[in-house]
Amino acid sequence: MKTIVIKLGGSILEHLDSTFFHDCQQLLQEGFYPIIVHGGGPMISEHLNKLGIQTRFINGRRYTDQRNLQHVIQSLAGDVNKQLVSRFIAEEISAIGISGIDLQLLKAQPKDPRFGFVGEVVDVHTEVLITLLAAKWIPVIAPLGLDHNGQAYNINADEAASAIADAVGAEKLVMVSDVPGVIIQGEKMDQLTTQQIDHYIQTGEITGGMIPKVQAGTTALQGAISEVVILSGHKKHPLTSQGTGTRLLSKGAGNHVIIS
């Protein structure tokens, strides 16, 4: 079973071009099974702001305390997930919305005490995904996880997508965002090696939410994934257009030109 894991950033969800869904249908027809993992950062922040709760970020990652966690779960597994599934259904594409909590799809453990109830994936229950894909149902996954004690965790969507891609041996990991790719000094990079990524993070050229994105991509490349692409969801047919976005390459691949 050939799979492609597609991560949809929260910032693009409301602006996603309708041809994205047509691309997913085309992938199915060509024998590739899409697995969707979505973020929801802007929606979570809006939800918390309405409650008068301030949002904190550390190195592009949301700090989540026990109080905030319940609101994160409500936003991700509730409104955001179901609205996205509804768009698939409106395009007559069979999709099912689940979170990483369901059937402990994403087994998690605490990532770092600094982040509160933010987890990292330690195991993926791939049988759940295989069962859904065998029925030609596209899984639409909210990035939440559960530990062995039943404690839920908020998981960075890029990291969740990377872990899922590695676990299922995906052909490709595609990260769809509201930017055309990785931007260095105003220029969209066609490709970046892991060496270049480390350099640009250290020099401050890659910042904010792009840091966990490229780090998740490089982690995927260290596993079973041979191709990672970061691209814009504003573009028509973002999944099937050629030459779009930024390709991330494993160390030693491509050239190592550093823009300074």
Helix 66-73 with 41-50: angle, nearest 10 deg = 120
Domain for residue 200, yes or no? no
Instruction: Return per-residue pLDDT of the chain as tens, 260 residues.
Output: 999 999 999 999 999 988 999 999 999 999 999 999 999 999 999 999 999 998 888 877 789 999 899 999 999 999 999 999 999 999 999 999 999 999 999 999 999 999 999 999 999 999 999 999 999 999 999 999 999 999 999 999 999 999 999 999 999 999 999 999 999 999 999 999 989 999 999 999 998 889 989 999 999 999 888 899 999 999 899 998 876 799 999 865 544 444 43
pLDDT digits (tens, 9 = 90+) for 55-91: 888 877 789 999 899 999 999 999 999 999 999 999 9
User: By C-alpha distance, which of 126, 120, 128 is closest to 158?
Assistant: 120
Domain for residue 96, yes or no? yes
Sign of CA dihedral 7, 10, 12, 15: positive
Task: Give the CATH number for residue 239.
Answer: 3.40.1160.10
Give the C-alpha separation, 243 to 6, whole Å.
17
Domain for residue 160, yes or no? yes
Domain for residue 74, yes or no? yes
Q: Domain span at residue 239?
A: 2-180+226-244
Q: For position 243, what pLDDT does the model report?
A: 65
**What type of residue is 146?**
L
Give the C-alpha separation, 154 to 252, whole Å.
34
pLDDT digits (tens, 9 = 90+) for 134-144: 999 999 999 99
Q: Are 59 and 29 a contacting pair, CB within 8 Å? A: no
Phi and psi angles of residue 192, each rounded to the nearest 5 degrees, phi first: -140, 135
- Binding residues for substrate, as ranges, are 40-41, 62, 154
Q: For position 251, what pLDDT does the model report?
A: 63
Domain for residue 237, yes or no? yes
**What type of residue is 230?**
I
Sign of CA dihedral 183, 185, 189, 195: negative
* Domains in the chain, number: 1
Domain for residue 188, yes or no? no
- Binding residues, as ranges, are 40-41, 62, 154
Domain for residue 220, yes or no? no
Q: For position 19, what pLDDT does the model report?
A: 94
Domain for residue 23, yes or no? yes
Residue 251's Cβ-side half-sphere holds a number of Cα atoms within 13 Å equal to 8
pLDDT over 90, % of the chain: 81
